[in-house]
Chain A
């Protein structure tokens, strides 16, 4: 049987997906512990999958039974910086400007 999802796990997952706010709340959920119990009920429901015998079954990653199509090595894009930057919250001198990523 699966171990229940602990608060530590919820916190770790929230951090990995950058959904966590420093004050311990996840908007729309109130406190993170509410989220933990929700996730536990969902994962508990999902648990029934363990009944399925998947011995020697290959995982299905796509419904399309094809190989990756390859494209020619031609330059067909680029050279439109204004379009690329048009929706940026902040841009300057042709760069995206974002909060400092190193100290």
Chain B
């Protein structure tokens, strides 16, 4: 029998539908892979026993559906991972922070509830940067996630959804949920040779996802292929009246869109995405991507997004401001860790000083500062106006093109610990992804090549709001042309 962990999600679903193997079998195979991949530290909480039970129930469900001539769920029987930012009923949810302690939500996030309704088997809760704040998955209270791709030293998998990216890249699960606030899906996908899709803001309900920056947070998926990412997103997205910012629109036909011809589309190449100190191999991969798209029949249009360089500093006002507010609730009073002090204020301070890691504290400090009296207009309000400018840039671009092609990251995955004490350098990892986050646009990272050290590099497609169809079509074309088949050597086995 073939190694079931090598399958794509699409192939796994087909195999189960054809009766080639059961959910029980493929779930077991993945659990073994997870156990052998402990060194990658991709999971915070493993739920293998529940997964096996769910798989058994799934196999029974599939059988009964087949008997009645019905249709199986979109994810029926597929073993997947869930980023530990999604609240899961009865399963410890930590946001990779000490402050949540042994928090066990009595509720299920809308996104994971949707996926469970479609038959997902959850293998466990995936590691990440604490409260999704980071670009390397090193800020986790549960230790750094390790990139399956390796040079001589261990590398970061990107972040914040580094556990999701590492687990998918290491064949520990068929796909995983992730969230993106400034690039937290696309950047780790780029760093691990996986596909990462962030849909339009409002496609996936935020209800039950631990908030980082509410106006930016958006759930999405990390998968092995573009089509797998479409299958996952299709089961995650949908209108939710419990989230006031949820969009009441139907999902597109995303799975089919992955194979739709891109002939006649116009792809914009933003000149501002050529930045200083970008490795030449990233520039040449980008150029290669442009050629691939041309070959696929698209028209290439140079475009200008003049406010691109301001996106990251604007983000580092807006996201910390919202984070400082969203994280005010972690005070040790109603749930999570409490460190008793001499009085109430002392208890607040000890609890939060103990519970939050350095990066989270740094961002709470920045956020509190930019919202405080006398600074609000100069920083927060100003940044929100810059955000308007960035959004206008995109609107202007859509006059002349249907999607944009850019690199996903300005560099290749770096060594663990190298950027941890240099916040601004770390922040620059998101320079190409943060613009779409600020404008709420869909973006996808597709693995497109390897650098001279044999490390994966990704290209990004950004589309119009709600035009995931075009994003998937372009990503599908890119994937086909790039024919990226490299896999990390399984050194951890």
- Interface of chain B, helix or strand or loop or mixed? helix
Q: A29 at interface (Cβ–Cβ under 8 A)? A: yes
Q: B358 at interface (Cβ–Cβ under 8 A)? A: yes
Q: Which residue of A21, A48, A57 contacts B388 across the interface (Cβ within 8 Å)?
A: A57
- The verdict on A21 contacting B350 (CB below 8 Å), with A54-B382, A64-B202, A86-B104 known, is yes
Cβ-defined contact, A99 with B347, below 8 A? yes
A43-57 Cβ-contact flags toward B at 8 Å (1 or 0): 101111111101001
Q: A78 at interface (Cβ–Cβ under 8 A)? A: no
1-27 of chain A: CB within 8 A of chain B: 2, 5, 9-10, 12-14, 16-22, 26-27
B348 to A, closest residue via Cβ = A18
Q: B116 at interface (Cβ–Cβ under 8 A)? A: no
Q: Most chain-B CB neighbours within 10 Å: which of A35, A45, A64, A83?
A: A64
Interface footprint category on B: 35 or more
Q: B356 at interface (Cβ–Cβ under 8 A)? A: yes
Cβ-defined contact, A29 with B335, below 8 A? no
Cβ-defined contact, B365 with A13, below 8 A? yes
- The verdict on A100 contacting B424 (CB below 8 Å), with A60-B387, A86-B106 known, is no
- Nearest-neighbour CB distance to chain A for B256, whole angstroms, equals 26
The 9 A-B residue pairs whose C-beta atoms are closest, nearest first, are: A63-B440, A28-B358, A59-B384, A87-B335, A54-B385, A89-B338, A60-B387, A18-B348, A60-B388
Which residues of B does A touch, CB under 8 Å? 102-104, 106, 201-202, 215, 241, 244-245, 247, 307, 309-310, 313-314, 316-317, 324, 328, 331-338, 340-341, 343-350, 352-354, 356-358, 361-362, 364-366, 368-369, 372, 378-379, 381-389, 391, 423-424, 438-440, 465
Can you report 12 A-B residue pairs in the complex whose CB atoms are below 8 A from each other?
Answer: A13-B368, A27-B353, A29-B358, A43-B366, A52-B310, A54-B382, A59-B387, A60-B384, A63-B215, A96-B334, A98-B344, A100-B343
Which residues of A does B touch, CB under 8 Å? 2, 5, 9-10, 12-14, 16-22, 26-29, 35, 38-39, 41-43, 45-52, 54, 57-64, 66, 68-69, 71, 83, 86-90, 96, 98-101
